């Protein structure tokens, strides 16, 4: 004889309480508040989502085996609603934490130890991402490389690699980041770790590998050596299919939802200046293939004829390839408004539907720019160009050429669907509050 256990209405309150308790335990078991991931990157959100999905999978299996009758509607509502609430609460908490970190609070005080060049490189990277929770307060270098400050910064050099303990005390550092080991005496890293206070002070090894995503890096102890394995960037057929499916569905829905706005902009462009509504320009895309990129025309009709003269008069500082002018006289009145809020790029949704572009990807360059590329820059063509990308949410026109390339190559080599969603979210935020970087 078998019995089915049916949960009645009052019992759902008990079931909900048990489920919440199990959910909290699942989040704790998956270390979703680990110091290593809390407040930065996507790993926190991924762990929260996976812990929730695994818990509900286990609940469904147990309910089936024990013949417990739980209404499917209950689970179908509880799972997405719970995940959404968790992610939103984590995001709100992160915004508060980022604001505090930008003010110098809730951040590790870092002492960099290594060669002058490696210390300067890591200091620049950490300076760019203050929200990550690391504030560089000083540095120690080999005696033959000592200077008053870290090159290119105002970070003080507090002594040689033999003065780490005294330097930490002097600036109140709680973290030592070793940026290179080649210039350190044998066993020096061990000596530094032995001198740290357990639980209060930490040692971080910062190898000279920039723009490599965490999932591609694995440590493997071999004969007492902590070897770091870096996986070769891979973009499988399944990943390409997923990205294309998301692009197609989202762009079609985008065109449908935004059709009234597209119509209004079409009328405004046509009514406020002479010339065609759309601007078609040849760009270089996936695998180096050229395509016609569509935008709302935001400049006067003879803009290309005026380019050579303007290029000679004004270029962005440090940008040897891209031409961007803050107060470009070729831009029309409605064009300036559209560019400020990135509305001129909305027709590129049709490029996405056609398959020549993606929602997120590297910046689509001009053929004349590609002619000036160094060999390694061509790696950006391993992915379809995007309407938005890391370059779009990291400074846009204010970026130097080197920074633009670094961000594009970082995207290509570290692509993930979650990363795309984060970039889309940041793009929406940047479009609503564009600041001074949209030219």
The pTM of the whole model exceeds 0.85: no
| pLDDT in the model for residue 406 | 84
Return the sign of the alpha-carbon dihedral for residues 107, 112, 118, 123: positive
Question: 109 in helix, strand or coil?
Answer: strand
Helix and strand tally (H, E) in the chain?
13, 13
Average pLDDT for 12-17 = 76
Q: Give start and end residues of each alpha helix (H) in 103-211.
A: 116-128, 164-171, 188-194
Residue 169 clears pLDDT 80, i.e. is over it: yes
E strand or H helix at 4: none
CA 357 to chain centre: 20
Strand pairing category for 68-69 and 5-6: parallel
What's the pLDDT band for 317 if we cut at 50, 70, 90?
A: very low
Percent of the chain with pLDDT over 90: 30
Task: Return the beta strands (E) in 339-392 as ranges.
Answer: 358-360, 386-388
Percent of the chain with pLDDT over 70: 82
| pLDDT in the model for residue 18 | 84
Average pLDDT for 413-439 = 78
| pLDDT in the model for residue 255 | 96
Contacts of residue 8, Cβ cutoff 8 Å, sequence gap at least 6: none
Average pLDDT for 138-162 = 88
Match 């973290």 to its residue by tokens: 175
What's the pLDDT band for 210 if we cut at 50, 70, 90?
A: low
Degrees (nearest 5) of the Cα angle 257, 263, 269? 135
Could you tell me which of 410, 411, 405, 413 has the C-alpha nearest to residue 370?
A: 405
Q: Kindly tell me the burial class for residue 199, based on how many C-beta atoms sit within 10 Å of its own C-beta (0-12, 13-18, 19 or more).
A: exposed
Instruction: Tell me the helix, strand and coil percentages in the chain, rounded to 5.
Output: 50, 15, 35
Contact predicate 419/410, CB 8 Å:
no
Interval 113-131: pLDDT, tens: 988 888 888 888 888 777 8
| pLDDT in the model for residue 34 | 78
Among 13-17, 18-22, 257-261, 368-372, name the one with the lowest average pLDDT. Answer: 13-17
Query: d(Cα 122, Cα 117) in Å, to the nearest integer?
Result: 9
Other Cβ atoms within 10 Å of 435 Cβ, number: 10
Interval 371-384: pLDDT, tens: 989 888 898 999 99
Return the sign of the alpha-carbon dihedral for residues 328, 332, 334, 335: negative
Residue 43 clears pLDDT 90, i.e. is over it: no
Domains and CATH numbers, the chain: 5-102 (no CATH), 108-208 (3.40.50.1980), 237-432 (no CATH)
Other Cβ atoms within 10 Å of 181 Cβ, number: 16
Interval 251-265: pLDDT, tens: 999 999 999 999 999
437 against 210, higher pLDDT: 210
Degrees (nearest 5) of the Cα angle 253, 254, 258? 120
| pLDDT in the model for residue 133 | 85
Could you tell me which of 112, 121, 122, 114 has the C-alpha nearest to residue 180?
A: 114
400 against 137, higher pLDDT: 137
Tokens, residue 397: 């026109």
Could you tell me which of 354, 342, 356 has the C-alpha nearest to residue 385?
A: 356
Tokens, residue 144: 């033959």
Task: Return the beta strands (E) in 214-302 as ranges.
Answer: 217-222, 225-230, 278-284, 290-296
């Amino acid at each position: 004889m078998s019995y089915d256990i049916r949960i009645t209405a009052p019992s759902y309150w008990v079931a909900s309480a048990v489920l919440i308790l199990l959910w909290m335990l699942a989040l704790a078991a998956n270390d979703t508040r680990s110091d290593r991931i809390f407040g930065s990157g996507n790993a926190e959100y991924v762990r929260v989502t996976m812990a929730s999905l695994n818990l509900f999978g286990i609940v469904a299996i147990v309910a089936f085996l024990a013949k417990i009758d739980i209404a499917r509607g209950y689970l179908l509502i509880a799972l997405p609603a719970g995940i959404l609430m968790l992610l939103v609460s984590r995001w709100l908490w992160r915004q508060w934490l980022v604001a505090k970190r930008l003010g110098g609070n809730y951040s590790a005080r870092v002492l960099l130890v290594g060669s002058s060049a490696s210390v300067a490189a890591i200091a620049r990277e950490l300076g760019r991402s203050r929200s990550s929770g690391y504030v560089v307060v000083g540095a120690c270098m080999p005696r033959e490389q000592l200077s008053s400050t870290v090159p290119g910064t105002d970070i003080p050099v507090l002594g040689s690699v033999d003065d780490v303990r005294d330097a930490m005390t002097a600036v109140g550092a709680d973290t030592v980041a070793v940026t290179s080991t080649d210039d350190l005496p044998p066993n020096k890293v061990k000596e530094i770790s032995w001198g740290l206070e357990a639980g209060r002070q930490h040692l971080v090894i910062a190898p000279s590998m920039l723009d490599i995503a965490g999932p591609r890096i694995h440590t493997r102890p071999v004969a007492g050596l902590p070897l770091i394995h870096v996986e070769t960037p891979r973009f499988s057929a399944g990943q390409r299919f997923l990205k294309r499916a998301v692009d197609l569905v989202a762009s079609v829905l985008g065109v449908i939802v935004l059709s009234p706005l597209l119509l209004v902009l079409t009328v405004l462009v046509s009514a406020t200046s002479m010339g065609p509504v759309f601007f078609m320009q040849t760009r270089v895309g996936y695998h180096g293939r050229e395509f016609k990129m569509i935008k709302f025309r935001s400049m006067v009709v003879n803009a290309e004829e005026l380019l050579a003269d303007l290029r000679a008069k004004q270029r962005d500082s440090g940008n040897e390839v891209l031409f961007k002018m803050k107060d470009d006289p070729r831009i029309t009145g409605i064009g300036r408004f559209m560019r400020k809020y990135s509305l001129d790029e909305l027709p590129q949704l049709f490029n996405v539907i056609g398959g020549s572009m993606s929602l997120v990807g590297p910046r689509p360059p001009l053929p004349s720019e590609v002619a000036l590329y160094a060999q390694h820059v061509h790696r950006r063509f391993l992915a379809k160009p995007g309407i938005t990308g890391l370059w779009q949410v990291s400074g846009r026109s204010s970026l130097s050429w080197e920074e633009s390339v670094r961000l594009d190559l970082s995207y290509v080599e570290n692509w993930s669907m979650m990363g795309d969603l984060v970039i889309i979210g940041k793009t929406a935020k940047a479009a609503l509050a564009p600041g001074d970087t949209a030219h």
